[in-house]
Amino acid sequence: MSEIKILLKNPNKIAELLSPILDIAAREKILDVGKKHSKLLLKLSRHHLLFAKKLNSNNDWRQKVSRAYYCCYNASKAIRLINSGEYSQEGSDHLKIGALPKDLNQQSIWTNFLIQFRSDRNLADYDHDKKCDELKMSPIKYIEQAELFYQDAKQYLRNRGVS
């Protein structure tokens, strides 16, 4: 079975369902797929963050918000993958950006922030007649918060064996 098929079927559930017939090494191999892809999602998260930070012009406010959002979205995906085994390539997955585990540092604060951020990212990406001052916070503040969320996500994953 390919890694993507394992991801789409939930590596945590596969390992649990097959645990009566798999040895520990085979079970770990399945779970390692989730770890590997959580690490890759976090790397992509960092890439988006660095890109957002490089944008200097005030005219780039839409791109700053969008890239900072995708930093958070991919970090959220990495957390959800390692925590519950959930992985999706569907657009509806964005609705789950705030579905964070209770043991994440500042979980309720991050959940509320990410839900708000998704709304402003939609404004930045799709509402052609909107202006930067209609955002709930400035693009720079979104980038700062995205970096803090990235750091919490990185620590959460590190604590679960993803390095």
Span 77-103, pLDDT tens digits = 999 999 999 999 999 999 999 999 999
In a domain, 6, yes or no: no
125 close to 66: Cβ distance less than 8 angstroms: yes
pLDDT of 135-154, one tens digit each? Answer: 999 999 999 999 999 999 99
Provide the token pair at 95.
């609705």
CB 105 within 8 A of CB 152: yes
The first and second tokens of residue 51, run together, are 């890109």
pLDDT(57) > 90: no
The rounded percent of the chain whose pLDDT value lies above 90 is 96
Q: Is residue 85 part of a domain?
A: yes
What CATH number is associated with residue 111? 1.20.120.330
> Is residue 59 scored above 90 in pLDDT?
no
Determine the structural domain holding residue 139 and report its residue range: 38-159
Tokens of 158: 């590190």
d(CA 17, CA 8) in angstroms, rounded, equals 15
> Terminal CA-to-CA distance of the chain, rounded, Å?
25
Residue 18, pLDDT > 90, answer yes
The answer to whether position 16 is within a domain reads no
Percentage helix, strand, coil for the chain under 3-state DSSP, each rounded to 5: 75, 0, 25
Q: How many domains does the chain divide into?
A: 1
Domain membership of residue 80 (yes or no) is: yes
Q: Give the model's pLDDT for residue 28.
A: 94
Q: Is residue 31 part of a domain?
A: no
DSSP label at 22?
A: S
Q: What is the pLDDT of residue 88?
A: 94
Q: Is residue 76 part of a domain?
A: yes
Rounded Cα distance, 28 and 8, in Å: 17
Q: What is the pLDDT of residue 142?
A: 98
**Of 152, 82, 65, whose CA–CA distance to 116 is shortest?**
65
For residues 58 and 132, the answer to whether their CB atoms sit within 8 Å is yes
Task: Tell me if 17 is assigned to some domain.
Answer: no
